[in-house]
């Protein structure tokens, strides 16, 4: 029985799948939370789609509680999210803003509540922000707003009265572009050496989860990649 345990919210996506495989390779017990199962995970919590946040969050929270029982986890990695563009004049503004809020803010809020309930003292919670949301995002307002909300949540979690277990850490990663198959498909002429490899993020998460170079709670860590090399640099 693996002594270390991790929940990966968005465990079926490109980054989530990489994290599931990496932690499994290190002997950890891994549970994936997503709309479809990840066969590499030890366990799966399947998310039912709902237009109601309270219904959606209630279902995930109840199913994770049923899975874990009294067991606590060492880390919760929220890597759910997506991208949609459009300015305030876009015909898809409302649809895309709604989608971005669901993909980023719903998942981050639920992950934060799961951390209060199930994270060990001294554990790690990671959230997925975006470097672009450190400033204005006129051409992708829904995305920018949602990721900025994730940054604020991360900083709130660092407060003593946030509800997180003692000694635990909340950190948001702020990438620019992730090196995913989907991004390569839609941006085939881009400079891939400036994109952040998924393996780098999974390895960084594992280091933080085991106490290696873990940033202070509330940190917004920019992932800056150039010439195929990536650095994690605090935004503040």
DSSP helix/strand/coil, 84: coil
Spatial separation of the C-alpha atoms in residues 5 and 128, rounded to whole Å:
20
Q: What share of the chain is helix, strand, coil (3-state, %, to 5)?
A: 40, 25, 35
What whole-number distance in Å separates Cα of residue 111 and Cα of residue 19? Answer: 16
Spatial neighbors of 216 by CB under 8 A, at least 6 apart, are: 158, 169
Q: Is 101 left (phi over 0), alpha (psi -120 to 50) or beta?
A: alpha
The residue behind tokens 């199930």 is 118
* Run of H or E including 150: helix 141-157
Q: Is 94 helix (H, G, I), strand (E, B) or coil?
A: helix
Catalytic residue among 143, 195, 205, 206: 143
Q: Are strands 229-234 and 219-226 parallel, antiparallel or unpaired?
A: antiparallel
Overall size of the chain counted in residues: 236
Report d(CA 233, CA 8) in Å as an integer. 23
- Residue 143 annotated among the catalytic residues of the structure: yes
Give catalytic residues, as residue numbers: 143
């Amino acid at each position: 029985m693996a002594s270390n345990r991790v929940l990966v919210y968005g465990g079926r996506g490109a980054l989530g799948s990489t994290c599931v495989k990496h932690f499994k390779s290190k002997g950890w017990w891994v549970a994936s939370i997503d709309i479809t199962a990840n066969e590499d995970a030890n366990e799966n919590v399947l998310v039912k789609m709902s237009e109601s946040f309270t219904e959606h969050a209630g279902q995930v929270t109840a199913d994770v509680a049923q899975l874990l029982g009294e067991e606590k986890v060492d880390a919760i990695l929220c890597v759910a999210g997506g991208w949609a563009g459009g300015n305030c004049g876009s015909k898809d503004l409302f649809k895309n803003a709604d989608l971005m809020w669901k993909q980023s803010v719903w998942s981050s809020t639920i992950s934060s509540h799961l951390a209060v309930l199930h994270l060990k003292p001294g554990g790690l919670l990671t959230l997925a922000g975006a470097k672009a949301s450190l400033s204005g995002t006129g051409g992708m307002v829904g995305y920018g707003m949602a990721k900025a909300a994730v940054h604020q949540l991360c900083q709130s979690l660092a407060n003593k009265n946030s509800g997180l277990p003692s000694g635990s850490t909340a950190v948001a990663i702020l990438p620019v572009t992730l090196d995913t198959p989907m991004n390569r498909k839609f941006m085939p002429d881009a400079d891939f050496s400036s994109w952040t490899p998924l393996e780098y993020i999974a390895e960084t998460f594992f280091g933080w989860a085991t106490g290696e170079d873990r940033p202070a709670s509330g940190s917004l860590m920019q992932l800056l990649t150039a010439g195929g090399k990536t650095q994690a640099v605090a935004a503040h």
